[in-house]
Structure 1
Amino acid sequence: MKQIILMRHGKSSWEYDVSDKDRPLKERGIRDAHLVARKFIDSGVKIDAAFSSPANRALHTSMIFLRILNYDLDDFGVKENLYDFSGNSVSDFVKSLDSGLETIVIFGHNYAFTNLANRWGDQYIENLPTAGLVQIQFNEQDWSNIQKGSTKQIIFPKQLRTT
């Protein structure tokens, strides 16, 4: 059985004159990444490998999330092909993963993650918000065979905020 956790980067700031890849997180994006990670940790899911887009906002989100989970960064990679907005490159990446990995988490971008959550999961999501997380389980032994799975968990930061 395979499981994928798709987490969209936290809310980013547009106040700096930097390239898209260099845009930082806003304070809200940092807070939301903490909220979602703390909620996710309650599920007890063990992650075998974690990957992030090289964009600053995705990388920063991944570090917050993985630090809260006490995740060993030896099994973490930054992958250029995860800087994708359609979902095609992310899908190709996932389908090429080693079949020895059971549960992975990927930090990236929209529209790619909304598209993949709807393509792979069995619950329709209108839009995966910033710092939103979707966990999908597949009844497959090899990543190359994944097609349609079961959406096991959806965490949106808006549901967790107290203020």
Structure 2
Amino acid sequence: MTERTLILLRHAKSDWSGEVSDLERPLADRGLLQAPLAGAWLDRNIGHIDLAVVSPAHRARSTWDIAAGELAETPPIRVDSRGYAASAGELLDVVRELPDEFDTVVLVVHNPGIAGLAELLTGAWIPMPTSTLAVLGLTGPWSDAGRQPAEMLATGRPPEDIPHRHRDR
């Protein structure tokens, strides 16, 4: 069976002080500090990422742009409108449609959908405050995601020491 890694990244803290639409809400100062820490953690612990699937919301795109700046190798990005205000089931559809040529994918989206997706895939509730990463190991093709429990490989919010068990491929 093929081993796949799905990285769930909730966008960094957003700024609610302005008079902009939810879709255009920027990152707060705290979010601007959180996003590069997430990227540095990914670079140190994951390394190669094949694809980033990102919500079209400004805060999600900004989170990924900043995080990706910390990576030695920047993966291609696909902005997917289904990632904005998506339910866990809608996000599962996004995951199941991923091309099997990609082994490691990061999904940068919003709560409550991202926490629901983590629970749907692992069978366990995983809190997903802003900038939290959840690294899941899946077996089989992407189209089978959720049909058997994913393995929780790491979860937490950088710079906290996120428990991680490195897997050799």
Aligned to 1:145: 144
**SS across alignment from 1:68:** coil
1:86 paired residue number? 87
Q: How many residues align?
A: 157
Match 2:20 to one of 18, 21, 28: 18
Amino acid in structure 2 at the alignment position of 1:103: T
Alignment of 1:67-86 (within 5 A): 67-73=69-75, 75-86=76-87
Is 42-51 or 3-12 further displaced after alignment? 42-51
> For 1:65-95, what per-residue CA distance to the aligned partner results, in whole angstroms no more than 9, with x for missing partners?
111113335x211111111342222111110
Q: Please report the RMSD computed on the Cα atoms of aligned residues, expressed in angstroms.
A: 1.6
Structure-2 residue corresponding to 1:41: 43
Q: Distance in 2 between matches of 1:115 and 1:154?
A: 14
Aligned mate of 1:64, from 63, 66, 71: 66
User: Residue by residue, what CA displacement relative to the aligned partner does 1:27-54 show, whole Å, maximum 9, x if unpaired?
Assistant: 1011011122222222143211111100
- Which segment drifts farther, 91-100 or 80-89? 80-89
Paired residue secondary structure (2:111):
coil
Q: Bigger shift: 76-85 or 57-66? A: 76-85
Q: Check whether the contact 1:122–1:150 (CA below 8 A) recurs between aligned residues.
A: no
Aligned-partner Cα distance in 1 for 2:46–2:110: 25
Structure 2 counterpart SS, 1:131: coil
Match of 1:156 in 2: 157
Q: What one-letter code is carried by the residue in structure 1 that aligns with 2:77?
A: F
3-state SS, counterpart of residue 36 of structure 1 = helix
Inter-partner Cα distance in structure 2 for 1:131 and 1:72? 19
- Distance in 2, Cα, partners of 1:78 & 1:106: 10
Residue of structure 1 in register with 2:116 after alignment: 115
**Cα offset, 1:158, TM superposition:** 6.8
Shift of 1:101: 1.0
Q: Distance in 2 between matches of 1:42 and 1:121?
A: 24
Instruction: Call closer, same or farther: CA 1:3–1:48 in 2, change over 3 Å.
Output: same
Aligned-residue identity in percent: 30
Residue 101 of structure 1 corresponds to 102
Q: Secondary structure at the match of 2:129?
A: coil
The normalised TM-score by structure 1 is: 0.89
C-alpha separation between the residues in 1 aligned to 2:48 and 2:55?
Answer: 21
CA gap of 1:122–1:38, structure 2 versus 1, over 3 A, is: farther
Whether the aligned pair in 2 keeps the contact of 1:36 and 1:155 (CA below 8 Å) is no
Distance 2:145 2:86 in 1: 20
- Is the 1:90–1:112 Cα contact (8 Å) retained in structure 2? yes
